[in-house]
Amino acid sequence: MLSNHIQNGIGMASLAWSRLPGTEEAEVHDEADLASTSCGNGVESLDYEVIENYAYREEQAQRGKLFIGFYVAMKWFLALLIGIGTGFAAIFINIAVENFAGWKFSATFSIIQTSYLAGFVVYILFNLVLVFSSVFIITQFAPAAAGSGIPEIKGYLNGVDAPGILLFRTLIGKILGSIGSVGGGLALGKEGPLVHTGACIASLLGQGGSTKYHLRSRWLQVFQSERDRRDLVTCGCAAGVAAAFRAPVGGVLFALEEVTSWWRSQLMWRVFFTSAVVAVVVRTAMAWCGSGKCGHFGSGGFIIWDISGGQEDYSFEELLPMAFIGVIGGLLGALFNQLTLYITRWRRQYLHKKGNRVKIIEVCLVSLISSAISFGLPLLRKCSPCPESEVNSGIECPRPPGMYGNYVRFYCAKDNEYNDLATIFFNTQDDAIRNLFSAKTFHEYSAQSLLTFLVMFYTLAVVTFGTAVPAGQFVPGIMIGSTYGRLVGMFVVNFYKKLNIEEGTYALLGAASFLGGSMRMTVSLCVIMVEITNNLTLLPLIMLVLLISKAVGDAFNEGLYEMQAQLRGIPLLESRPKYHMRNMAAKEACRNQKVVYFPRVVKVAEVVSVLRSSKHNGFPVVQGNRETLVIGLILRSHLLVLLQSKVDFQHSPLPSDIRGGSIPIRHNFSEFVKPVSSKGLSIDKIYLSPDDIEMYIDLAPFLNPSPYIVPEDMSLTKVYNLFRQLGLRHIFVVPRPSRLIGLITRKDLLIEENEDPATMELQSTSVRPHRRDRRVLGRDSEAEHPLLNGLLVQD
């Protein structure tokens, strides 16, 4: 016994030495892992199906009603913590961004009073430092935090896990990176990353914290299944939208419409509760910061563009230009999706393969170009005199130096002049949108300035999207849409001179149309736009432009998140199968596959060989000599746990009597749970001695005895719907069974809690004689096969 321990210790030491970074073998493995991840092959399907092995059944049998009550209470408690955590994260990001932007603009405005060149240098350096800090954190600390994160989270809720997307360092990188990239003036927003932030907080709370950074609490380690964690991540996504836009109902609808693939009424209540908690936290923080305790925060702050004092009604004549806005939004949104797809694909194939240094240089160059455009273009624009009609509007014109809002005075010779292009460019994005949405400012912008800003900002948004920084597309999309919407509004005002028309109303409709044409959201986006503008009167108009823009965009390509998910190698299962699947059978989808399976009692050497030679994550387990009977499914992760623990190794190649209790369950169900967004165990990191290789494992206690099965001639459309709606990872395809036990109807499933299942009979029509039925059932009860007895799998 002692010699075995010594031998195992020597083997583990040699394995650890071979994995040191300085060795050649380690470098080869690291390069292989990096290559597989960059090619999109690092994604892995999730096991949303409950693995009903003997460890699971024994654990469920020990749980009483008290534990069930505690289990439900913990779900609501974690929903509360998710709302509080996401709310505080959003508050921290917004306060930091607003203060950095406030310091930047205050310093720049004070310096340009003496020298515009010195102000230009300070402005560029300020932005460059913030953007460099963001890209440095992403490339060196949290690579999975780049981008918006919504395609990855959508893939996770669809059943696909990408490495690192929900880790603690990803959460920190997302928060700090968003502050640097948004505060640095790049053409992107912080709203998409907030969705990813909420999902990370929910995932970390669901698994009890972070093991690597020793931030764990055993009181939170209650949820051991991927299904429960999926529900928590859904709450986190809704909390992120609710915190970003101060739109709790919009957050619930966003989670329902855009990201999640499975929805239940119980989940609806918890998601709604989480969004309500976020709304309370954010509102409390804004009330506390309203007295000036948060520095520059408050003038910009959370997105809320109140246009309730604008246009009160609309006429029939305005419907045509509003529909035209929807068409423009669909066209520009589809073009934006296609351009970002081409540029991101080129960037991944040629640029980002050269290393992190190239990523940092790229982002810094984009920052320099963005700063030069936002500072330089207003210098080329002539200042305009303050309009006389704005005296009674309550808006000061021009703004004094150091103040940013409507009518910004920038490079103007006279005191009563302002620069309309600087009012949009030389401003925070939230304030620029507020200016574009503003009512009673008919003559603030010229058509030339709006068109210039539209072309330049559209180009910057396309180029910036896909760089190695956290990037959201909500606010840039709103800026682009509100610009051409206000342009259309200016022409409508000049054409219908007698109507009470506000240009800000058309800016709002333009923002909704571009988001609908790019992201292809309808219901959730409609509610979000109503909540952030506090104007219910415009609801029918927003619905009109959203329907038109989505229809136009769908005629050209898919939505932004679907295209980016496809580019990242995330295999999303859409809500509907492809049309040609109706003419295909299940056996046609798996005809080219070579099924790798294990016998019930398998040699350890065979398990190791199969795991090293194949990348499959599930293996059928069979039993029998003449007739090979499928008795269940064993997961790769479970096999790795068994190989690492070694406590279930046996010398005999014979199966043991499980029902007789001769095999004790030496594992808890929690031991088989893979940490979220991690690769888990690897066969290359498990050391097995020569004696271990010659031993056997009885897989019966650890397999899933009740996997989902379809006959070989079932339509592939039905298989697709079954696979997606149940969140499966594997489905067995078998020849059509010839024996029928009974027929279950709806009435058979309405079992009361106090009824004894043993005394109940299936309310079904027997298809065999009574004696034969009893004989078959008696024979099945004596069989050793857990569930799938009688389903033949022929080689």
Contact 464, 192 (CB under 8 A): no
Confidence of residue 125 (pLDDT cuts 50, 70, 90): very high
Q: Which CATH class is domain 586-781?
A: alpha beta
**Residue predicted with more confidence, 665 or 252:** 252
Residues of the chain with CATH 3.10.580.10: 586-781
Whole-structure pTM value: 0.84
Burial class for 736, CB neighbours closer than 10 Å (0-12, 13-18, 19+): exposed
Q: What is the pLDDT of residue 668?
A: 65
**What is d(CA 418, CA 434) in angstroms, rounded to the nearest whole number?**
17
User: What are the structure tokens assigned to 75, written together?
Assistant: 């779900």
Separation between Cα atoms, residue 550 and residue 237, nearest integer Å? 23
Whether the predicted pLDDT of 144 surpasses 50: yes
pLDDT in tens, 281-321: 998 888 888 777 777 765 445 555 555 555 666 778 888 99
| C-beta of residue 621 within 8 angstroms of C-beta of residue 702 | no
The rounded percent of the chain whose pLDDT value lies above 70 is 80
Range with the lowest mean pLDDT among 8-22, 87-101, 297-311, 520-534?
8-22
User: Poorest-confidence range of 188-202, 312-326, 463-477, 746-760?
Assistant: 746-760
Q: Are 70 and 220 in contact (CB under 8 A)?
A: no
Query: Side chain identity at 18, as an amino acid letter?
Result: S
Quick count: other Cβ atoms within 10 Å of Cβ 217? 9
For tokens 């640029």, the residue is 351
Check if the beta carbon of residue 123 is closer than 8 Å to that of residue 116: no
Residues of the chain with CATH 1.10.3080.10: 65-152+170-289
Question: Would you state the pLDDT for residue 7?
Answer: 44
Concatenate the DSSP letters of all residues of 150-217 into one string: HHHHHHHHHTEE-TTTTSHHHHHHHHHHHHHHHHTT-S-BSHHHHHHHHHHHHHHHHTTEETTTTEE-
CB proximity list for 795: less than 8 A, separation 6 or greater: 628
Task: Give the angle 560-565-567 at the CA atoms, nearest 5°.
Answer: 95
Determine what percent of the chain falls in helix, strand and coil, rounding each to the nearest 5.
Answer: 60, 5, 35
For residue 632, with 0-12 CB atoms within 10 Å meaning exposed, 13-18 middle and 19 or more buried, which class applies?
buried
- The pLDDT-based confidence of 19 (bands split at 50, 70, 90) is very low
b/e string for 101-116 if b means 16 or more Cβ within 10 A? bbebbeebbebbeeeb
> Comparing C-alpha atoms, which of 59, 779, 193, 790 is closest to residue 473?
193
pLDDT digits (tens, 9 = 90+) for 222-248: 777 788 889 999 999 999 999 988 899
- Closest among 427, 442, 437, 545 to 492, alpha carbons compared: 442
- Find out if CATH 3.40.50.720 is the number for domain 65-152+170-289: no
Q: What SS3 state is found at 313?
A: coil
